[in-house]
Amino acid sequence: MSKARIAVLVSGGGTNLEALLNAQEAGQIPHGEIVLVCASNEGAYALERARNHGVPATAVARKAMSQSAFETALNIKLAAYRVDVIILAGFLSILSEEFVSRWPDRIINVHPSLIPAFCGRGMYGLKVHEAALERGVRVTGATVHLVNEIPDGGRILLQKAVEVLPDDTPELLQRRVMERAEWVLLPQAAEMICRGLAGEETP
């Protein structure tokens, strides 16, 4: 079986990447294979995680380049590894409409809330969980969605709810959402997209 070739784009520690790599090794993404991890900065620990799993890892330093140069360099890396699918896993660099339009229905992103709640400009990482606690919601979660040209747009693939507990801090809530939602949904969404590219219907 020919597997879809996946690139995971990262910017930081790579906990979501680790979940994807572990899922792949457990046979949970049978129609896909992670062939490249690319970070937007050279110091991202996610690169070390990738190498520990024997996956090629590289960096394209966003700060050193214009948007156009950054995306050109990124496209060169993706082409070199014949990538079919892109997963944004804690990737904090904005991608242009032109870049995204070259990958129709092939870029997936995870957001640590139940979209449309707590999303939009400036809403990422711990800030999302801080906002959820400030609002006093009892349920939050995570969403995996396709990325398109519309800001915060794209078709929602999967969502999973997570309970907010009375004594939660943003850090505790973030960890629970990652463990119970993000790390579960990302491998499922990756397999869904890769299976579709293989021409098979999702069961």
Active site residues: 111
Long-range CB contact pairs, 56-59, < 8 A, 24+: 56/81
Q: How far apart are CA 163 and CA 77, in angstroms?
A: 40
Interhelix angle 126-135/170-177, rounded to 10 degrees, is 110
Give the chain's end-to-end CA distance (angstroms, integer).
Answer: 18
Q: Which of 149, 90, 145 is nearest to 116 (CA)?
A: 145
Q: What would the two tokens of residue 139 be?
A: 């349920």
